[in-house]
């Protein structure tokens, strides 16, 4: 079992930065990948960034160059550094862990992630 707890959300103005954290407990080191998803009001949940146990990363096109995903060596904390934030980044951000990793540039579907945190709100105002 894996338990995930996000923190670090908040309200910022356009162009600002935030760093989200996700504390992982349980069998974190054995998960194949971890990632961040987000859900904006009235929209479905979308993948933002994922990282595997070797540090390989994938990003959604909308956040490339602005967001950076990272993890501690023990893989017990996952981070998402968000810079140059835009109003369209406003969403609830979820941390997730998966027993799978698929090569290639395509972001994985949320259905491939078995474990989820409760989410943290990020609001970007213009």
Q: Both tokens of residue 4?
A: 């995930």
Position 105 scores a pLDDT of 81
Q: Which is more confidently placed, 105 or 52?
A: 52
Q: Is the dihedral of CA 21, 6, 64, 27 positive or negative?
A: positive
Q: Tell me the pLDDT tens digit for each residue of 43-95.
A: 999 999 999 999 999 999 999 999 999 999 888 999 999 999 999 999 999 99
Rg (CA), the chain: 13
Strand partners, 2: 26
Report residue 61 CA to chain centroid gap. Answer: 14
């Amino acid at each position: 079992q894996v338990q995930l707890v996000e923190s670090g959300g908040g309200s910022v103005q356009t162009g600002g930065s935030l760093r989200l954290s996700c504390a992982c407990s349980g069998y974190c080191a054995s998960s194949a990948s971890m990632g961040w998803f987000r859900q904006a009001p009235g929209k479905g949940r979308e993948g933002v960034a994922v990282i595997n146990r070797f540090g390989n990363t994938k990003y959604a096109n909308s956040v490339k160059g602005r967001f950076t995903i990272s993890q501690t060596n023990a893989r017990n904390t996952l981070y998402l550094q968000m810079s140059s934030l835009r109003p369209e980044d406003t969403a609830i951000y979820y941390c997730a862990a998966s027993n799978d990793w698929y090569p290639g540039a395509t972001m994985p579907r949320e259905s491939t992630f078995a474990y989820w945190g409760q989410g943290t709100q990020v609001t970007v105002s213009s």
